Amino acid sequence: MIDGINTTIHDCHIIQLRTVLRPEGKLTIIQNEKFDLKRVYYIYDVPEEAERGYHAHKTLYQLVIAISGSFSVRLKDGVREWNVRLRDPKKGLLIRPGLWREMSNFSVGAVCLVLASELYSEEDYIRSYDSFLSYKKCIQ
């Protein structure tokens, strides 16, 4: 586990999830993916113009998957940013602690599945970008 203060966008990446392909359909397995799972939630029925996220977490690891449709994720570490479009249910975006995320451009019918390493705790959130920059020590 790494400290959220020192993480950068380079600590986040796309994980290819093992998938069993059959003529009867596909089956994707999420198992032992970088952290122990404590919580699962999913986001859906997102209006086209809606933007979500706009926060960071101090300790939480997340794996984000577009299990249906597509949406864009922007990750920021206070210096750099990485924009990625998730559209493949066989791929998960690993977000380590200490990264600011913004989610937008949800397609009609998009479902965003999130696997999380901790139970919900509002204390783990940083919801102001200025506070995030202070936390990352980008502002003296």
Residue 120, both tokens: 């919900």
Q: Sketch the per residue contact string, 113 through 132, with ligand TYD: x for CB under 6 A, - otherwise.
A: -------x------------
In whole angstroms, the minimum distance from the beta carbon of 125 to ligand TYD comes to 7
52 binds ligand TYD (CB under 6 A): yes
Distance CA 112, CA 43 (A): 5
- Across 30-42, b (16+ Cβ under 10 Å) vs e yields eeebebeeeeeee
17 versus 43: smaller Cβ distance to ligand TYD: 43
2 versus 41: smaller Cβ distance to ligand TYD: 41
58 binds ligand TYD (CB under 6 A): no
94 binds ligand TYD (CB under 6 A): no
42 versus 80: smaller Cβ distance to ligand TYD: 42
10 is catalytic: no
Place of tokens 């003529």: 23
Place of tokens 């597509």: 70
Count of other CB atoms within 10 angstroms of residue 92: 26
Residues taking part in catalysis: 55
